[in-house]
Structure 1
């Protein structure tokens, strides 16, 4: 039987009206949303959507199932939060990659206000170092970029938000497209050995963008600071909790709309005693992301 995530995706498609719009809400690719809905329809042995132009409308059966799905998700969430009172004291430790620490810190700050007796420790690190710490129980969870390949069987991955890839240059650089911005200028690359670096390389190929290699660095913030100083140009994920799009010193140009985004989520063990607290952190991060991006 499909898990609760498929039901959440079904609700997102019903509310958003299309697989593409729902994909952004649940931090999945459009192909993954389509696969989940096909699986759900196969299990229920009935069609849930009909395609009309670029939209996906609920069938009559889909309309009947929607309120049941919403009640099921609400019941499941209530079930997960049972016993939370026992988790609002003591300590939890959560890791995050540098570029996701803003999202995590904002959510944890709200959690601490509501539960002042909960002692929270935040640590930063690279995803390849944080994931083993989660698996061994050294930390309770980590907010990281989606890993390539399959998630280890002992761990659970929950997508939280997605970040589109953009080309960035100094405001003084005149350019009407990403290709114009990047052409012939020194390219500042995020290190290829990291998942974000691999996604940037994929974005360059997807958009057929040629670059002039200059420096490879391991910090998105340092790369963008060098861009501000007009030391070069780059392709980076537009950070959910950054202000680059409104920075007067930067020129930010979106890549093609079908460029795969960077997906950030929480990695935690499938069995541990802090699930309810982590659920609240996840929901706070999603809520803040939704408020920033609008409906």
Structure 2
């Protein structure tokens, strides 16, 4: 199967019509139609449902999309290894939402500027979901927090940095005693306990003998910080790198000793090295600048 047929297949999936796909890959509509029909014949499966006005992907066709993306990316990296050229193809990258608000904007800028032919597809989510997608091949790699248990054994884990957890209270009612703060009359605002970070915080509270029920539970660190700034409660949250909310004068922040969450890049053990190395290099460069 020719790589250019896979490019046409992916262009159709991305742009929705043969007309748009043909324009993107610089081929005629007839040429793309032939390529797609040849793909079906070679694979022995119907990839599309054809009507007079449209071409819709079948379930099998949708399942082929991530595999086609991987094949095109691998081909681009093979060329890059031989010629020293920038990377091309598609990188599907899962990122926890807190990292998108922290280090990742600058990392993505560096990676895409150095590799203009590389298309980065960002999937934002929570760590558990992203790790599962890497494990089954739906994502190339993901930036996630450390799980309460262990990562799947078939994944490679590259530690990036650690983020401390902190007690945050309103500046007008500062408190450096976590037990006193969370046992006070001020409501406790919990970070989403369905996330790994939320579970770690819950376990910390239980170890500290803090069993009061949360008055509120949110999955947004920015929203929690905003509520605490307004004096609506206290919370325990991770201090995410590169974010600005923990610089607020309306918050009193006390990092909790010996309580951190590692942030890592996870890939499959067989993951493509050039793509992984390019991303790790960019992340390490950004982190080095932030610590100066």
Work out the CA distance in 2 between the residues paired with 1:206 and 1:287: 37
Work out the CA distance in 2 between the residues paired with 1:152 and 1:86: 33
Q: Structure 1 residues 109, 141: CA separation in 2 closer, same or farther (over 3 Å shift)? A: same
Deviation at residue 285 of structure 1 after TM alignment: 1.8
> Is the 2:128–2:196 contact (alpha carbons within 8 Å) kept by the matching residues of 1?
no
Which range moves more in the overlay, 114-123 or 210-219?
Answer: 210-219
Count of aligned pairs between the two proteins: 211
For structure 2, the 5+ residue unaligned runs are 1-79
Q: Structure 1 residues 182, 153: CA separation in 2 closer, same or farther (over 3 Å shift)? A: closer
Q: Structure 1 residues 182, 286: CA separation in 2 closer, same or farther (over 3 Å shift)? A: farther
- Three-state SS of the structure 1 residue aligned to 2:214 is strand
For structure 1, the 5+ residue unaligned runs are 1-80
Equivalent residue for 1:289? 287
Work out the CA distance in 1 between the residues paired with 2:212 and 2:290: 32
Q: Equivalent residues in 2 for 1:88-107 (5 A)?
A: 88-101=87-100, 102-107=102-107
Q: Structure 1 residues 149, 226: CA separation in 2 closer, same or farther (over 3 Å shift)? A: same
Deviation at residue 118 of structure 1 after TM alignment: 1.2
- Three-state SS of the structure 1 residue aligned to 2:107 is helix
TM-score, normalization by structure 1:
0.65
Work out the CA distance in 1 between the residues paired with 2:83 and 2:195: 36
- Alignment RMSD (CA, Å): 2.3
Work out the CA distance in 1 between the residues paired with 2:253 and 2:265: 28
Q: Equivalent residues in 2 for 1:223-238 (5 A)?
A: 223-238=224-239
> Is the 1:165–1:203 contact (alpha carbons within 8 Å) kept by the matching residues of 2?
no
> Is the 1:191–1:218 contact (alpha carbons within 8 Å) kept by the matching residues of 2?
yes
Deviation at residue 162 of structure 1 after TM alignment: 0.3
Equivalent residue for 2:205? 204
Q: Equivalent residues in 2 for 1:145-294 (5 A)?
A: 145-184=145-184, 185-207=186-208, 211=212, 213-255=214-256, 257-259=257-259, 261-273=260-272, 275-294=273-292
Work out the CA distance in 2 between the residues paired with 1:89 and 1:156: 23
Deviation at residue 206 of structure 1 after TM alignment: 5.0
Q: Structure 1 residues 175, 132: CA separation in 2 closer, same or farther (over 3 Å shift)? A: closer
Q: Equivalent residues in 2 for 1:9-24 (5 A)?
A: none
Q: Structure 1 residues 170, 83: CA separation in 2 closer, same or farther (over 3 Å shift)? A: farther
Which range moves more in the overlay, 212-221 or 109-118?
Answer: 212-221
Which of 1 and 2 has greater Rg? 2
Per-residue deviation, residues 166-207 of structure 1 (Å, max 9, x unmatched): 011222113343344434110001122321012212333455
Work out the CA distance in 1 between the residues paired with 2:82 and 2:200: 39
Which range moves more in the overlay, 91-100 or 144-153?
Answer: 144-153
Work out the CA distance in 2 between the residues paired with 1:173 and 1:191: 24
Work out the CA distance in 1 between the residues paired with 2:175 and 2:286: 32
Equivalent residue for 1:111? 111
